[in-house]
Amino acid sequence: MAAANYLQSEDQFLCSICLDVFTDPVSTPCGHNFCKNCITEHWNISNTCFCPICKEGFTTRPDLRVNTFISEMVAQFRQSAQQKVSKPGEVPSDICTGTKLKREYEGMKGKTEAKIQQMIQKRQLKIQAIQHSVDLSEEDADREIAEGVQVFTSLKESVERGLNELINTIKEKQKTTEKQAEAFIKELEQEISELMKRSTEVEQVLRSEDHLHLLQSVQSLNIQHPPPTKDWTEVSVRPSSYEGTVVKAVAQLEETLSKKMKKLLEAELKRVQQYAVDVTLDPDTAHPDLILSDDGKQVNLGDRLSKLLRKNLPDNPERFSNSASVLGKQSFSSGRFYFEAQVKGKTKWDLGVVRESINRKGSINLGPQNGYWTIWLRNRNEYKALADPPVLLSLKSPPQKVGVFVDYEEGLVSFYDVDAAAFIYSFTGCSFTEKLFPFFSPCNNNDGKNSAPLIISPVRVN
């Protein structure tokens, strides 16, 4: 209490201008006190006279006189402070001179400046981090552009090469037809020439008045029989058949494009696999009929006996009550992540990601509008992306392992056939505002036909 009173007294005897103990204290008409020199100098450099504390203005400069009462109180304060704090042989206490308050002020000022500098440094580091992200993004963009130019240049060359081959094939067929026609025409023209020659000879013989010569000529020319010629009745030139030529060329081009596409997808899959995360199943979200492995990596629907023997699990808000589903423990609210699930041997399954606030009770409709970004398998070979509306997927082969990639900021959810390095489907332009969780549903057993578990697989990058 004594210390508190002491500090309070100190505050009462400090000039608000110099922050030191009063020297020749004077009072303004508004009742505030200052050192005489401090307030005089303050008014000397000001156009108007006003109180530095309450800002009350005075039309004329007040006649200031030393307040003897305050002056005596200051003197007693100095003496008391010196007696309480000083020891024989020591310099008078800082409190008596007001330097303690100055030091506290300077210390506070230093701390403030240090804090400001720290805040500036943090923001400078943030600027560097943002710029670094921009630089990385620019590098990625340049690399992607270079790869894109290379791929499309190669595709363009393949298309041009295929077109040239198609044109050459058609021209070769046409040339063959023309050559055949030219040979026939030449042969026909040769026969026409022979026939015209015979016709001229016959005409000349028939004009002869020498009957003996006429008879001899007729016998030698054998007029009744024309020169030997070819039977052209069945001879014809059929136009070349081009049916299937373009289709075959396009099929070859498609095969080339498929090979290039496979290489691109293999490269893309390797890139997204770099964002692999370790996902485990959350038993607190699992439907009561689901059986989870001890390591949290496998899930399947229990049989009738296991359902009868199952423990009564609490119906907590996180648990699915009607859908045979379970979420991953891990949640994601930024960046990119990737995981894989083995679906081998199953005839039905659901897989994807969901937002945290999804409905987990009663009937559930899968779809982005309800917070589900998923694909499913039904009837052993019917694959669908549960978009709005659902999209029937045409896959070349049933995937044994499905990869799921999410780019939170980009609003992208993509699915891949891992073993075939094939693209399955992408949800694009998604707007994520909540945590996202991996979603798994092994579906019902279908009388044992769908008893294989859904397995979270370790990601292996080749």
3-class secondary structure, 324: coil
Q: Which domain covers residue 363, as residue numbers?
A: 290-457
Are 454 and 438 in contact, with CB atoms under 8 Å apart?
no
Asked if residue 158 and residue 249 are part of one domain, the reply reads yes
Whole-model pTM: value is: 0.59
The least confident of 76-80, 91-95, 402-406, 419-423 is 91-95
Does residue 107 lie within any of the structural domains?
no
Asked if residue 250 and residue 154 are part of one domain, the reply reads yes
The string of pLDDT tens digits covering residues 4-30 is 444 445 667 888 888 888 899 999 998
pLDDT band at 231 (very low <50, low <70, confident <90, very high): confident
Cα separation of 335 and 169, whole Å? 52
pLDDT band at 224 (very low <50, low <70, confident <90, very high): low
Asked if residue 295 and residue 422 are part of one domain, the reply reads yes
pLDDT band at 307 (very low <50, low <70, confident <90, very high): low
Cα separation of 69 and 63, whole Å? 17
More confident residue, 317 or 212: 317
Are 423 and 403 in contact, with CB atoms under 8 Å apart?
no
Asked if residue 325 and residue 268 are part of one domain, the reply reads no
pLDDT of residue 1: 40
Asked if residue 233 and residue 183 are part of one domain, the reply reads yes
Does residue 395 lie within any of the structural domains?
yes
**Could you give phi then psi for residue 82, rounded to 5 degrees?**
-65, -40
Closest alpha carbon to 51 in 67, 66, 70, 38:
38
pLDDT of residue 8: 46
pLDDT at 97 > cutoff 60: no
Are 11 and 4 in contact, with CB atoms under 8 Å apart?
no
The string of pLDDT tens digits covering residues 235-246 is 888 887 877 888
Asked if residue 301 and residue 411 are part of one domain, the reply reads yes
User: What H or E segment, with its residue span, contains residue 355?
Assistant: strand 349-355
Asked if residue 446 and residue 297 are part of one domain, the reply reads yes
Does residue 19 lie within any of the structural domains?
yes
Question: Could you tell me the two tokens for 313?
Answer: 């699990």
More confident residue, 77 or 263: 263
Domain endpoint, select from 59, 74, 97? 97
Q: What's at 438, amino acid-wise?
A: P
39 burial via Cβ count (<10 Å: 0-12, 13-18, 19+): buried
Asked if residue 400 and residue 440 are part of one domain, the reply reads yes
The least confident of 232-241, 293-302, 384-393 is 232-241
Asked if residue 327 and residue 255 are part of one domain, the reply reads no
pLDDT of residue 244: 83
For the chain, what is the mean pLDDT? 85
pLDDT at 139 > cutoff 60: yes
pLDDT at 367 > cutoff 50: yes
**Could you give phi then psi for residue 93, rounded to 5 degrees?**
-60, 150
Does residue 114 lie within any of the structural domains?
no
pLDDT band at 98 (very low <50, low <70, confident <90, very high): low
223 burial via Cβ count (<10 Å: 0-12, 13-18, 19+): middle
pLDDT at 340 > cutoff 70: yes
Closest alpha carbon to 339 in 293, 402, 411, 430:
402
pLDDT of residue 194: 85
| Residue entry with tokens 């390095």 | 421
More confident residue, 46 or 190: 190
pLDDT of residue 90: 53
The string of pLDDT tens digits covering residues 144-156 is 888 888 888 888 8
| Residue entry with tokens 């036909």 | 449
Instruction: Tell me what the mean pLDDT of segment 158-186 comes to.
Output: 91
The fraction of the chain above a pLDDT of 70, given in percent, is 85
| Residue entry with tokens 């694009």 | 428
Domain endpoint, select from 80, 97, 114? 97
Asked if residue 45 and residue 72 are part of one domain, the reply reads yes
Number of domains in the chain: 3
pLDDT at 462 > cutoff 80: no
pLDDT of residue 5: 45
Rounded to 10 degrees, what is the CA torsion of 250, 254, 256, 257?
A: 130
CATH label of the domain that carries residue 85: 3.30.40.10
